[in-house]
Amino acid sequence: MSDVRYDDRVVVITGAGNGLGKTYALEMGRRGAKVVVNDLGGSAFGDGSDQAAADVVVDEITGAGGTAVANYDSVTDGDKIIQTALDTYGKVDVVINNAGILRDKTFHKMTDQDWDLIYDVHVRGAYKVTHAAWPHMREQNYGRVIFTASAAGIYGNFGQTNYSMAKLGLHGMSQTLALEGRNKNIFVNTIAPIAGSRLTETVMPQELVDALKPDFVMPLVLKLCDENSQETGGLFEVGAGWIGKVRWERTRGHAFSVSEGFTPEDINEVWDEIVDFTDADHPASIAEANKPVIKNLKA
Ligand SMILES: NC(=O)c1ccc[n+]([C@@H]2O[C@H](COP(=O)([O-])OP(=O)(O)OC[C@H]3O[C@@H](n4cnc5c(N)ncnc54)[C@H](O)[C@@H]3O)[C@@H](O)[C@H]2O)c1
């Protein structure tokens, strides 16, 4: 197996001033990438800004002999971040959508501002950055894109309605972009990481925060963004050195006769069959997913 190298690759990493994004930036820099280190430098809750966050990482990369430039825009101005890549290095090969904040509250206490801010940073931000990079990737017939989801989006997490919405939304975005990008050699994947960072230090004991090093997530991101990787449309859970892939699972279900019609009572009678995961199905495309529906219409 050849080494994973990023020589002459221009890599944009959002939220690269801290936590996970910083580890990606440092390692990509070590492996030859020209890195755009984006960070707004605000708090974990989305307040304020500080250029030092991105500057420190750029200094560390260049101090080690690498190549990097800082960008201080919010991901909601994603076009400006991509413009920094184009102005400085003339292209963009890799986009790692990583910037994130939290506004945790139980749903009955959540304000419109908590909802909108989480949507803006995670969903609209990732959209703006990726949308600005996409035409350049299509034109050069090459691109690698990462979205950062969360177990909170896949499984739900108490007090994180807004965050769960945003995080699973990103996986939805990623699945369609994987389809639209494939014939242009643009591969798109989503990770759901777990790592100690300022986002998790409020909800995890310090011991766990220290043990769950962002460095244990980083190698998967570098593997997925490698020019030799063929993986696209995947969703990976990753943390503490463990990596697994997630897919949809669906029960065989029950088919009623549409010509005869059926009632809620009929559904009650076969409910156990509808929710029974024995011999479950794993549809991997919308065509596969629609098969039993079409079959039942024709029956
Ligand atoms: N740490 C975990 O266990 C975990 C779990 C699931 C998902 N995630 C996701 O991983 C990503 C990285 O999180 P982290 O744990 O490293 O947190 P972190 O707070 O250490 O890093 C996030 C960075 O994003 C930056 N940022 C925030 N809003 C921004 C904006 N509008 N524009 C540009 N930069 C902005 C912050 O300044 C910060 O440097 C986030 O998307 C987070 O939701 C983390």
- Beta bridge partners, 105, equal 160
- In contact, 90 and 40? CB cutoff 8 Å: no
* In the chain, domain spans: 10-246, 247-299
Whether 153 is in the pocket of ligand 1, judged by its Cβ within 6 Å, is no
What pLDDT score was predicted for residue 289? 97
What pLDDT score was predicted for residue 87? 98
- Of 199, 204, 220, best ligand 1 pocket probe by most atoms within 8 Å of the beta carbon: 199
Q: Whose CA is nearest to atom 14 of ligand 1?
A: 19
Tokens (6 digits) for 236: 């990976």
Spatial distance between the Cα atoms of 283 and 251, rounded to a whole number of angstroms: 10
What pLDDT score was predicted for residue 70? 98
Taking the alpha carbons at both ends of the chain, their separation in whole angstroms is 51
Tell me the per-residue pLDDT of 126-161, one tens digit each, with 9 for 90 and over.
999 999 999 999 999 999 999 999 999 999 999 999
Architecture of domain 247-299: Orthogonal Bundle (1.10)
- Beta bridge partners, 67, equal 34
Known catalytic residues are 163
Specify the ligand 1 atom closest to the Cα of 196: 1
Whether 33 is in the pocket of ligand 1, judged by its Cβ within 6 Å, is no
Query: Residues near 87 by Cβ (< 8 Å), separated by ≥ 6?
Result: none
What pLDDT score was predicted for residue 1? 72
What pLDDT score was predicted for residue 2? 83
Q: What is the CA radius of gyration of the chain?
A: 21
Specify the ligand 1 atom closest to the Cα of 44: 19
What pLDDT score was predicted for residue 203? 83
- Give which of 88, 114, 93, 101 is closest to 39, Cα–Cα: 101
Distance between Cα 20 and ligand 1 center (Å): 7
Q: Average model confidence (pLDDT) for the chain? A: 97
What pLDDT score was predicted for residue 99? 98
* H or E element at residue 143: strand 143-148
Domain 10-246 of CATH type 1.20.1440.120: no
- Of 26, 39, 77, 217, best ligand 1 pocket probe by most atoms within 8 Å of the beta carbon: 39
CB atoms within 10 A of CB 283: 15
Query: Residues near 204 by Cβ (< 8 Å), separated by ≥ 6?
Result: 196, 212
Distance between Cα 74 and ligand 1 center (Å): 12
What pLDDT score was predicted for residue 299? 85
Tell me the per-residue pLDDT of 251-297, one tens digit each, with 9 for 90 and over.
999 999 999 999 999 999 999 999 999 999 999 999 999 999 999 99
Alpha-carbon dihedral sign for residues 272, 273, 278, 280: negative
For the chain, list residues with pLDDT below 70: none
Distance between Cα 139 and ligand 1 center (Å): 30
| Ordered DSSP codes for 63-122 | HTT-EEEEE---GGGHHHHHHHHHHHHS---EEEE-------B-GGG--HHHHHHHIIII
Distance between Cα 167 and ligand 1 center (Å): 12
Distance between Cα 282 and ligand 1 center (Å): 31
For the whole prediction, is pTM greater than 0.95? Answer: yes
Query: Residues near 135 by Cβ (< 8 Å), separated by ≥ 6?
Result: none
Q: Whose CA is nearest to atom 25 of ligand 1?
A: 15
Specify the ligand 1 atom closest to the Cα of 120: 31
What pLDDT score was predicted for residue 161? 98
